Amino acid sequence: MSLSTPNNPDAERAVLSCAMQWRESYDILAQHSTGLDLFYSPPHRAIWAAMGEMTRSGLNVDLISLTGHLRARDSLEAVGGPLTLSELASDAPTPKMLPHYLSVLEEAEKRRRVIRACHKLGADAHDPDNPVNQLIQQGDDLFTDLLKTASIARERAWTEVLGKTIAQIEAARSAGGKLPGLPTGFNPLDDQTNGYGDGQMWVVAARPGAGKTALLLNLVENLVRAGHPTAIYSAEMYAEELATRSISSQSRIDSLRLARGQIDRADFGRIETALQKCINWPIWIDDRADMRLIDIQVGARKLVKEHGVKVVFVDYLQLIKEPDGSRNREDAVRRLSDGLKQLAKELGITVVALAQLNRSNERREGKRPDKSDLRDSGSIEQDANVVLLLHPLEPDATTQSVEVELIVAKCRGGKLGPILFNFDRPTTTFTAAKNDNN
């Protein structure tokens, strides 16, 4: 059975009629993100394109001027001639029906895009030279784009914006100054960042061995102790290694002793107490080999939908497998960073990505890192709402307990500057040096 391509000629004529008769209708249509693709009929596409050319040239769009414009370009007969334009000029009796006509065209256009996407994926899937992982990523990108809502007119009056802003401030005051976002569990960090915000991407960066993964796990533990479901995508360590570290932190038993089984009878009680605390924590971990961006995207969507996950941690960004088709390492990291940022916005969650720093800080006096030291791509810094840099103040890696600066190097809407932490290496535990109740 042959199926016709989704379209609605009557709605297309009505929309064009509104645009010809009322400038406000034209402006609404001109701001539509889909633009020319709203129209399926070639004559209707040509008429809309001519309207756009005239408007950009500062000309009024009416029956007489549009007819003349098309005649001058030898396109008048191709769109149906003067009679068709004359009928269009009176086809819509009122502009009030424009939203209805537009919704009809939007649905038809979306259906056409679904059909094109399926046809393209089907054709590409038959080509054995196309890697299957690339096809899956391509399909995810195509259908994610289809989910985005067309932008018609989003401008709001300043008075409306101010009114909602004051309402938010009043609501925050009534809540007793409660953080806008989820607490990190470290009060000094919350004071400077306002906590994890919906749609935000955080980056925690350091040189190897500075304690990035340990800090990640401490942040996760703080979240789940407060009942907030959390996910970890670990390309760096196995899930069991993370669990060992968590038990070490909860029981205050050296993680190396636990890993080697060097525990005595007195330790069993501390381990049992630690397990009772964390056995039911709402944590999901993916530690698969060759972690890809699409694994994180698909997994996070499922966890948010089924378990209400609020924060997703990625350890670490430069270890995620390069997306197929990346031109070079910098392009690959740029695409990974952008993908994680868009995932946070799509799901309304916070994504916290660990990242490596290059060696530039080692040539500076004091060796203090800077956000410009982010390895492989400056896009990480651009995409991030918050950038945290770990800076051990004790260079001797054998020291059991060291002071570490957690430098808030970037924070939109927050305060910059260092926060002093104590890092107990044997139990991989961070504690804020002051003003922390945990």
Q: 391 with 418: CB under 8 angstroms?
A: yes
Backbone angles phi, psi at 261, to 5 degrees: 75, 20
Residue 327 has pLDDT above 90, yes or no: no
d(CA 142, CA 48): 26
Q: What is the pLDDT of residue 178?
A: 74
Which residues are 261's β-sheet partners?
A: none
- For the 181-432 domain, the top CATH level (class) is alpha beta
Q: Where does the pLDDT of residue 150 fall: very low under 50, low under 70, confident under 90, or very high at 90 and above?
A: very low
Listed by start position, the domains of the chain span: 9-147, 181-432
Instruction: Give CA torsion, residues 162, 167, 171, 173, to 10 deg.
Output: 60
Mean pLDDT throughout 259-281? 82
Mean pLDDT throughout 7-36? 85
| Percentage of residues of the chain with pLDDT beyond 70 | 90
Q: Which of 30-34, 122-126, 219-223 has the highest mean pLDDT?
A: 219-223
Structural element, H or E, at residue 404: strand 401-411
Which of 118-132, 167-181, 256-270, 402-416 has the least mean pLDDT?
A: 167-181
pLDDT digit string (tens) for 376-386? 666 787 888 99
Model pTM greater than 0.75? no
d(CA 151, CA 378): 29
Q: 209 with 397: CB under 8 angstroms?
A: yes
Q: DSSP letter at 371? A: G
Q: DSSP letter at 182? A: B
d(CA 165, CA 159): 10
Residue 399 has pLDDT above 80, yes or no: no
Which of 43-52, 80-89, 209-218, 246-255 has the least mean pLDDT?
A: 246-255
Mean pLDDT throughout 72-90? 89
Are 9-147 and 181-432 equal in CATH topology? no
Q: What is the pLDDT of residue 395?
A: 65
Residue 398 has pLDDT above 70, yes or no: no
Which residues are 351's β-sheet partners?
A: 201, 312
Pick the CATH number of 9-147 from 1.10.10.10, 2.30.30.100, 1.10.860.10, 2.130.10.10: 1.10.860.10
Computed over every residue of the chain, the mean pLDDT equals 83
Residue 352 has pLDDT above 90, yes or no: yes
Query: Reading across the β-sheet that carries 311-315, which strands appear in turn?
Result: 283-286, 230-234, 311-315, 350-356, 201-206, 386-392, 401-411, 417-424, 429-432
d(CA 20, CA 60): 9
d(CA 94, CA 98): 8
d(CA 30, CA 51): 10
- Strand 230-234 versus strand 311-315 pairing type: parallel
DSSP helix/strand/coil, 248? helix
- Residue 191 makes CB contacts below 8 A (sequence gap 6+) with 415, 435
Q: 228 with 312: CB under 8 angstroms?
A: no
- Each as own residue / partner, the long-range contacts of residues 85-90 (CB below 8 Å, 24 or more positions apart, any chain) are 85/47, 87/13, 88/13, 88/16, 88/17, 88/20, 88/47, 89/17, 89/20, 89/21, 89/62, 89/63, 90/17, 90/21
